[in-house]
Structure 1
Amino acid sequence: MLRVEALTKRYKTGDKALTDVSFDVPSGQVVGLIGPSGAGKSTLIRCVNRLVEPSSGKVFLGDREITRVGRGELRRVRRRIGMIFQEYALVERLTVMENVLSGRLGYVPFWRSFLRRFPQGDVDKAFALLDRVGLSDHVDKRADALSGGQRQRVGIARALEQDPELLLVDEPTASLDPKTSRQIMRLICEICRERGLPAIINIHDVLLAKMFVDRIVGLRAGRIVFDGPPDALDEEALTAIYGSEDWNAMRKEADETAKDAAEAADFEARAQAGAA
């Protein structure tokens, strides 16, 4: 379980990115982190694994206080936290399998990683994960030959190769089309529930978040202004997070976009079936 207590991040300029942020994420729960640009969503995720150092507050993973460990111990703590990035963060010239196995770099001696001679158990686990994310036919393909959705699936498998106790996901669908975005969100949430893995997903698409996550935390100006189930995210809550807007009009526009995407996918499927 993740526990965040009164987390604050103040920059040298005096600006606050986060102010007294507190929440828990129990095992198996997927939390969608939403809010306008500059609300502090990415800063919060990076403070949890200390890619950004918080100014004050505490972060616990299980009984371990992450914010107290020194640099040497921090490397071992980060092995317990899987990270999935918006821009995939793959090594383009390496194969899919080699990218997934890089999730074990914190566990194996340097000579093994340098020679790419990972223990057979790690390799077997990587094969199983690639099968789970639907990439068993792409094991030897270079990362730069993959589509955006396939790259994100590699990123998911790599994070799981770490055997994490927490998953942090930063804008996993920002560069993907609507159909692929739904597939990726469904995959992440299913895997977290299968493994009892707590997760925080920083996501800009509110409707996508409502469709898949268990709970939504809304940030505005570095403070939590909403924390509840997706069905409680009504117009009042959205206004508190994003400010005044015609939410009904936006919802209709989003519904039309989803309908167009579904029709396009259906047309493509029928075209492929006809070609076969």
Structure 2
Amino acid sequence: MLTLTGVGKRYPTGDRALTDIELTLPKGQVMALIGPSGAGKSTLIRCVNRLVEPTQGSIRLDGTELTKLSGHKLRHARRSMGMIFQEYALVDRLTVMENVLSGQLGYVGFWRSFLRRYPQEAVIEAFRLLERVGLPHAIDKRADALSGGQRQRVGIARALLQSPKLLLVDEPTASLDPKTSRQIMRLIRELCAERELAAIINIHDVALAQQFADRIVGLRAGEIVFDGLPSDLTSEILTTIYGEEDWDTTPEPMDDEVSGDEATNTAPINPPYARVMSSIEAGAAR
């Protein structure tokens, strides 16, 4: 479905963000990108939909060479790629429904979107999606009245209204508490299964990646240093990706009932690496 061959990105400053990325993502697979800050995870996702221009290589989606497209053809190709952002990218003064319907921009054009002139079938599908993500009661609420988890659910519904083949997900849990983070990752995973969507998810929380992804790709300094199953992660591989850490410290318990989707933007809480290893071992046991 999606194939990256020799993809690289070098900025005008000379800094290299990506080096010779080779990836193939089949239909329906959920891939997690992990790695330290600055490893190139967000850059890689944004190169796929050309929000960042790669400086070399090939990116093909269902046989279409994305790096050669421009103008109308690029906008048309982007319909197939739904983007879910770290900071939600909602318009605060608009309602939940209006934000979801903005996912139709690639189909109806700017002016029809600006004038809120959407096809009836798009409005019906937006209702269905809001019900599916658990927000049927919030249709008329302004986006700035929502909690962090609710805002991310709106972003997910908006991305799905494009009827994409591929989801590009950039740090969907970075501003959420641990319980809401798991809820959001579980929702993304379920929706991908229901709709046979492929997904690339940039995520810092390795335990969440191990729990919800089919495949994990580890980046370090713009290069792939691991590509395999979640159960294949070991302390040695994690050290290769992140550098030296005490991966075997006793894990700390976490109360799964503390706070939830009604919490407003809570500071991100990254689990100790020991809990990551505990989760990995549990996944292998399954």
Q: TM-score, normalised by structure 2?
A: 0.88
Alignment of 1:77-156 (within 5 A): 77-156=77-156
SS of 1:248's equivalent?
coil
Size of the aligned set, in residue pairs, is 261
1:252 equivalent in structure 2: 251
- 1: CA distance between counterparts of 2:131 and 2:115? 25
Tell me, what secondary structure is at the counterpart of 1:107? helix
Mapped pair 1:35 → 2:35 = yes
Aligned to 1:226: 226
Matches of 2:219 and 2:50, distance apart in 1: 19
Partners of 1:128 and 1:53 lie apart in 2 by 35
- Residue pair 2:59, 2:67 contacting (<8 A) in 1 also: yes
Q: In percent, how many aligned pairs have the same letter?
A: 69
Partners of 2:98 and 2:81 lie apart in 1 by 20
Moved segments of 4+, more than 6 Å? none
**Match for 1:264 among 258, 261, 266?**
258
Secondary structure in 2 aligned to 1:144? helix
Secondary structure of the corresponding residue to residue 7 of structure 1 = strand
CA spacing shift, 1:115–1:13, aligned 2, 3 Å: closer
Task: Output the aligned Cα RMSD.
Answer: 1.5
- 2: CA distance, partners of 1:90 / 1:31: 25
User: Which residue is 2:178 aligned to?
Assistant: 178
2:271 aligns with: none
What are the Cα deviations for residues 225-259 of structure 1, in whole angstroms up to 9, with x where unaligned?
A: 0000101011011011001111112x713xx2xx2
CA distance in 2, matches of 1:72, 1:114: 19
3-state SS of 1:17 partner: strand
Corresponding residue for residue 214 of structure 1: 214
SS in 1 for 2:18: strand
Greater percentage in helix: 1
Measured after TM superposition, the shift of residue 181 of structure 1 is 0.2
Contact 2:177 2:259 in 1 (8 A): no
2:281 counterpart residue number: none
Give the CA deviation at 1:117: 2.0
SS at match of 1:82: strand
Determine the C-alpha separation between the residues in 2 that align with 1:244 and 1:113.
50
Separation in structure 2 between the aligned mates of residue 203 and residue 98 of structure 1, nearest angstrom:
28
What TM-score do the two structures reach when normalised by structure 1? 0.92
Q: Match of 1:252, as an amino acid?
A: P
In structure 2, the CA distance between the partners of 1:203 and 1:194, relative to structure 1 (3 Å rule), is same
1:57-108 Cα offsets, whole Å, 9 max, x none, are 0101111010111233111111111000000000000000000000001111
Provide the residue aligned with 1:272 in structure 2. Answer: none
Q: Report which stretch shifted further, 47-56 or 106-115.
A: 106-115
Partner of 2:270: none
Q: Distance in 1 between matches of 2:130 and 2:53?
A: 33
Where structure 1 has 5 or more consecutive residues not aligned to the other structure, the ranges are 269-276
User: What's the secondary structure of 2:248's corresponding residue?
Assistant: helix
1:271 aligns to what? none
Per the TM alignment, residue 110 of structure 1 is displaced from its structure 2 partner at its CA by: 4.0
Deviation per CA, 1:97-143, whole angstroms, max 9, x where unpaired? 00000000111144422221211100000000001100011111100
